[in-house]
Chains A and B, each alone.
Chain A
Amino acid sequence: MFKVIEIFRGIEIPKNNLCRIGLSVVLFIILLGSFAPLIAKDPYETNMAKRLESPSSEHFFGADQLGRDLFSRVIYGARTSLIVAITISAFSMGIGCLIGAVSGYFGGIIDDVIGRIIDVFLSIPEIVVNIALVGVFCTIYGSSTWNVILAVVFTNWVSYARITRGIVLSLKEREFIFCSKAIGAKSSWILFKHIIPNALGPIIVLATLNVGNIILTIASLGFLGLGIQPPTPEWGQLLNSGKNYIATAPWITFFPGLFIALSVFGFNLLGEGLRDILERRRIYE
């Protein structure tokens, strides 16, 4: 963990505007999600008297078709989306980095086999595989948030593996790796102590950008009714439930859509900003 901190030491985030804006947006959404119980009301409480009520001082975002407070549902939705997206990103990063590092470091047949597997994954549209997998998991294990996580991780690790493989290919020719071999270190030692800490910068950038993408994927699955199941509030699913009332009560779709856009925007800006900072540092080195 402290290696990650070491990488960020000396970075002055406020100097980079992209980073500054992105970080504010991301922090804003994270804070909203974390303090949801303090800010919002009960997102499950229905009140048919307030069905499809428009935004007011009592219900900032209005109410949905069951009279639930939309503001609360959107904010609790931020919780779901962020937790699931970050979990997926973390799992994919672990799996992808390990596979990519092994592939790049050992080369030869291992690299060929992993390379072809990656090619196969890249040749199929991700969302199609995700939809199919969620369906399969649902019939076997019943509906659960883990279905979505596993299905997305299944296609998502590939980008981490590709990036890590590339970095490792260039790192393993560096002299300090040679030096480490000369002192008799094992391959696993070299991989975990020397190669992965050096590869962390670009991987962190990728992970940040990736969280934005995953939020979109989760929302897409939710919109199709395959994601996180109601009544748990989730942005894509809120969009779906509002689509029949788009002419009469547009706020049901507008506010979840706004939050999806805002969070993806925030993570992308943060990622781009981090890339600027880390790449510049690499060139400087």
Chain B
Amino acid sequence: MNLFDELIILDGAMGTELVKKNAPMGHLPEELNITHPELIKEVHRSYLEKGTKLIYTCSFGANAYKCKGSKYSVPEIITASVKNAREAAEPYGAMVGLSMGTIGDILEPFGNLKFDDAYEMYKEMVVAGEKAGADCLVFETQTDLLEVKAGVLAAKENTHLPIFVTMTFESNGRTFNGTLVEAMAITLTALKVDAIGVNCSLGPDELLPFVKRMREVSDLPLIVKPNAGLPDPATGAYDMGPEEFAEKMVPFLEMGVSMVGGCCGTAPEYIEALVKKAKGFKPVKPERNNKSYLSSGREFVDVTRVHVVGERINPTGKKLFKEALLNHDIDYVKARAMEQAEAGAEILDVNVGLPKIDEEGLMVEVVKELQSVVDLPLQIDSSSAAVIEKALRVYNGKALVNSVNGEEKVLDTILPIAAKYGAAVIGLTMDSDGIPETAEKRVAIAGRIVKKCAEYGIEPKDIYIDCLTLAASVQQKEVRETLNSIREVKARYGVHTVLGVSNISFGLPKREYINTTFLTLAMEAGLDLPIINPNNAAMMGAVDAYHVLWNIDTSGNHYVEKYAAIQEQEKNADKGAAAATVSGELTIGDYIKKGLGDSAAKAVRALLETREPLDIVNNELIPALDRVGAEFEKGVIFLPQLLSSATAAESGFNVIKEYMAAHNAATVSKGKIVLATVKGDVHDIGKNIVKTILENYGYTVIDLGKDVPPERVVEAAREHQVKLVGLSALMTTTVASMEETIKMIRDAGLDCKVMVGGAVLTEEFAMQIGADYYSKDAKQSADIAKLVLGA
């Protein structure tokens, strides 16, 4: 099927036509394929008669989630739907597309649908569809790009059929769940589906700009299936008639889209009018554009200037980061990600490799969690092909893989994976003989990488060559070789470049001078993606200044806006500091009570000059929290105030942690506690509040997150040998899984206490389901921890 050959006319709405024919619309209209096949075929024929060349089967909701409770299996319904469509289409020589809507549940971490389960559900559908004789697979009315990815992978790995994807956008250019038009187009183009587009939610006028934006970033054939204008929410009626609808479709035809049809509110007359208008139009194959795109599900980067890659999600040389990974503290990782995003990073490198850690499992979890809080594209950094593949599977966008090098074996292992998932790759200019000294040799390795990439269908624009930084203190004369290689690989191969910068100053004093200067030289040589610490103001300043001086930041708008504000802030901070000194005499306890984190941290830093860290924790931080906690208990202060004090204490506590890590002392922890929101429950604000308080009392919290299966709680309690487990449930429906979890902890014979909390629980009920303690609020959970683990 060459989708640029002929314009293909699609059908219009199915549901409303069935209602018109008085079909019994029960819980699952797809069952009509089996109970009333003639009705379905009639609707198909009504479109075919008007000129539809590709009809969609009536199988929109025929997935395992929505079919639960049906007396027919998913394959039965799918098979019947294809059979009906085939029989109707045959006399007209038309094709049949298997329609698949959303599963109907939300993927983790916001919902409890697992990626692998979504994959299996789509697999069941596409396999049945291919077997029954569908010509192509159509994912339509989709709202979550990650769910689409599960479907597309299921289709690619289990069938040979062409794959079409249309998503449903709101007036802001995002789907209900936030997927951005460009992010969708970039990701699916990289995944090499056969056509993409839009359907439902809006009328042709509103969808036109989105389809144009898709065309900007993708050269795939486009599909347009709008509603008949906008609906009246009360009556459900749409505001466009057939002629007007067809007229409004003309701009799409002029653009050269490949497939047009209608969605909600469109009937056979609409398609008839559209067929008339479409006469003489042909799809237009677009020119290829030479930009490299990277994307998350929500934002994208087109690499046309310097973009900073944040390097902070990496345990190498970072004691607290290592500890966080070992304690499964995903929030710590998330916080590092948000911090870098705020500091101006545009891509985040993600490395969670540590000896004796389940890197695959952890990487998958971190990728899933990161994409729930940051919008930036990710750079998947691992030396293991298996880890990279697992991460790319669940990554909601087009990622950058870090990395391959000139070794044949590495190239042949990693490149097929990058190609399959449509990722861009970083290629290091080194091989089994190490890093060559001369630019010429490094360029030669880059050449081998580019050639291999071509064999796997990875274009030069999606290759990011890293010419490697060596320490100037050791290999001073090679610094120039790195810069020359950057220039040369770009000129010779048309690739992009990436570079870890700060190695350059290793072993030298005042590293920042060397780093910023080297960064500036590298950018001038053509560096696209510096991998740096975005929290370093001087380095970010160098990038921003470079954009001004090269007339990339036009009129210096970005620079002026950013640095005028910073300058102002600095002035005010000086004034504030002066005022604080004048008022003087405030203790750590006062700062904590007032929720002043920075001041509390400063005070702790000052105390560390004269006192032991543990002394400060036990005699300053904890008593201050106790006082606030007592006030909360008495109802003097309310929850936001308790939390604000706890986070201020946390700032102080972090200073202690950093101090101890820097002085190689054992970590400060009063003991470990496992916390989880039980299976089935995805509301975890209560558990998170408890976590904040417990951490600031000095306990290490192993946070298992929400919707946690009982086995996982048992496993974590055993692995970390905890004496206390805290469980939270918000809904009456999920208290049963709380009870089950407690039972499983008891059955496993673990020597640990269980405290429970949550809106629907009472003391009595907590005892009934076998808990040791009922915690009515966060403060009480700290009291219980003290009781069980000691103060």
Query: Are these two chains actual partners, yes or no?
Result: no
